[in-house]
Structure 1
Amino acid sequence: MSVRSAASAVGEAGRVRVGGVGVDVLTEEQVVRRVAAELEAGRGGHIVTPNVDICRIAAADASLMELVCAAELVVADGMPLVWAARVLGTPLPERVTGADLLWGLSELAARRGWPVYLLGGPPGAPQQAADRLTGRYPALRVCGAHAPPYGFDTTRAGRDLVRRKLIAARPRLVFVGLGFPRQDRLIAGLRDGLPGAWFLGCGAAIAFAAGRVPRAPEWMRRAGLEWAFRLGSEPGRLARRYLVDDLPFAARLLGRCLATRLTGG
């Protein structure tokens, strides 16, 4: 799928289509309210928070694009997507990150008495994140905090073990921090075991919540510079992704969106 074909106006079901992905026009607060209503009704779901990197990867793989677009909620975790939607004349209300949703949904769970499960992140990080979350929200019940060994999801035995532990814990909210597309493929395979639960694919959010990885200051997040902060914090791991892969894709996306807006097509 080309960047040009990815940049169009409002898509199906009222979603804004940008970066190849149909994105829900929701604020973080509205996402939390939507999840609350669905959980109250006994319906589960999957939240995907695409950024430029996820859009780039999904644009090259139709099965991954389908996986993203099939989620019940899709919200933009990348400022370039917010900017692109604005250029197209179909603005999104704000950036909604997995890192912020982890806290917002945990606050919701604490108020409603819904148990949460933390899955993924470096060894020990889910437990540390659970401690910090319950420190802020004392009523929060964390029914599981598990960092499976790297590569567990490449074997049936590894996936089955995670599935058994998760189903036995019976969470209502599951935060899965394995990075795209691993986390979202895993979620797709877990949902039938917990049809009334909501799953958030949240990337590095568990490591952020644990205090293992520093998060950019608020002003950098608002300015769309969180990627620069993360690059400075982890240059060896992120330099190629951000500078070689994602920046050119973002530039092409914004250029195509501008061309589409100017030509009306």
Structure 2
Amino acid sequence: MRINICGVKIDQYSFDEVVKCIIEYAISNKEPEYVVTPNAQHILTLQKDTRFQEIYRQALLVVPDGVSLLWAAKFLQTPLKGRVNGTDLFEQLCAIAAEKDLKIFLLGGRPGAAEKAKEILQLKHPNLKVVGTHCPPYGFESKPKELALINSKIREAKPHILFVGLGAPKQEYWISSNYQELRVPISIGIGVSFELVANMVKRAPTLMQKSGLEWLFRLLVEPERLWKRYIVGNPLFIWLVLRQKIGLSKFE
């Protein structure tokens, strides 16, 4: 079952249920699928980006990455089962992949982030099979040779799970354009997770994560990059939810 937050349909699964579903699908080697992990910024982008909307409609799973979505769902009296944080999901899937002999590939992140994340994850899980990493150059999406190189690397590596850290909506655009050709069972866009696991970007203290203030910590750490997303975006998201609640906007 999916609930509606500002026109975006989000799965009512717990973190553990999402992990179980992804692992089972990766093992099954069925037709390729992908998972999206919305936060408040995604909701805002989806209001006007029809391509992004279609990508969301075709996703295998739409799981709530942002705490703001949990608050919104509760306010709208359609509560979710909990947050499915992208970085936690990445780390947990890698831990289980090591146990289940599943192969993973890391695409994206800042230079060196995927390689460093790989090192750290393999120290924790020596059996983890990271069959490739690749950090594409800026503007790669308009360079046919680079796009062909990326696809070639992934097809040759034959991972069960492809983690893509290119930021939204670029990572979702890329996944949607390539997942069928790549034939990877599951692809997941996970934003800045490689950097967080690699300790290139500091993660909020656990207390701030649990209290829903991770956004404030990230804003303090990277104000120049994130001020617009949070200072402008958060009030806009709240306004959209209020409009849905009082019936001013009919989100289908």
TM-score (norm 2): 0.94
CA offset at residue 191 of structure 1?
A: 1.2
Tell me if the contact between 1:98 and 1:200 (Cα under 8 Å) persists in the aligned partners. no
Distance in 1 between residues matched to 2:211 and 2:7, nearest whole Å: 23
The SS at the match of 1:133 is helix
Aligned to 2:236: 249
Tell me if the contact between 1:52 and 1:249 (Cα under 8 Å) persists in the aligned partners. no
Alignment of 1:45-56 (within 5 A): 45-56=33-44
Q: Specify every segment of 5 or more residues in structure 1 that has no aligned partner in the other structure, as ranges.
A: 1-13, 261-265
Match of 1:65 among 45, 50, 53: 53
Distance in 2 between residues matched to 1:29 and 1:79, nearest whole Å: 17
Aligned to 2:26: 39
Tell me if the contact between 2:43 and 2:237 (Cα under 8 Å) persists in the aligned partners. no
Q: Does 1:110 align with 2:90?
A: no
Tell me if the contact between 2:74 and 2:80 (Cα under 8 Å) persists in the aligned partners. yes
CA offset at residue 196 of structure 1?
A: 4.4
Distance in 1 between residues matched to 2:236 and 2:96, nearest whole Å: 36
The SS at the match of 1:220 is helix
Distance in 1 between residues matched to 2:241 and 2:43, nearest whole Å: 13
Alignment of 1:211-226 (within 5 A): 211-226=199-214
The SS at the match of 1:83 is helix
Distance in 2 between residues matched to 1:217 and 1:47, nearest whole Å: 26
Residues 38-57 of structure 1 show CA distances to partners (whole Å, capped at 9, x for unaligned) of 12322232110000111111
Q: Does 1:147 align with 2:108?
A: no
RMSD value, Cα: 1.5
Aligned to 1:23: 10
Match of 1:92 among 62, 80, 88: 80
Tell me if the contact between 1:84 and 1:253 (Cα under 8 Å) persists in the aligned partners. no
Aligned to 2:159: 171
Q: Specify every segment of 5 or more residues in structure 2 that has no aligned partner in the other structure, as ranges.
A: 248-252
TM-score (norm 1): 0.89
Distance in 2 between residues matched to 1:218 and 1:110, nearest whole Å: 25
Distance in 2 between residues matched to 1:132 and 1:124, nearest whole Å: 12
Distance in 2 between residues matched to 1:222 and 1:148, nearest whole Å: 33
Residues 173-228 of structure 1 show CA distances to partners (whole Å, capped at 9, x for unaligned) of 11100001111111112212333421110000011111100111111111111110
| Percent identity between the two aligned chains | 37
Aligned to 2:197: 209
The SS at the match of 1:132 is helix
Letter in 2 for 1:125: A
Letter in 2 for 1:243: I
Aligned residues: 247
Tell me if the contact between 1:52 and 1:78 (Cα under 8 Å) persists in the aligned partners. yes
Residues 151-191 of structure 1 show CA distances to partners (whole Å, capped at 9, x for unaligned) of 11122222111111111111111110000111111111221
Match of 1:231 among 207, 216, 219: 219
Q: Does 1:125 align with 2:113?
A: yes
The SS at the match of 2:164 is strand
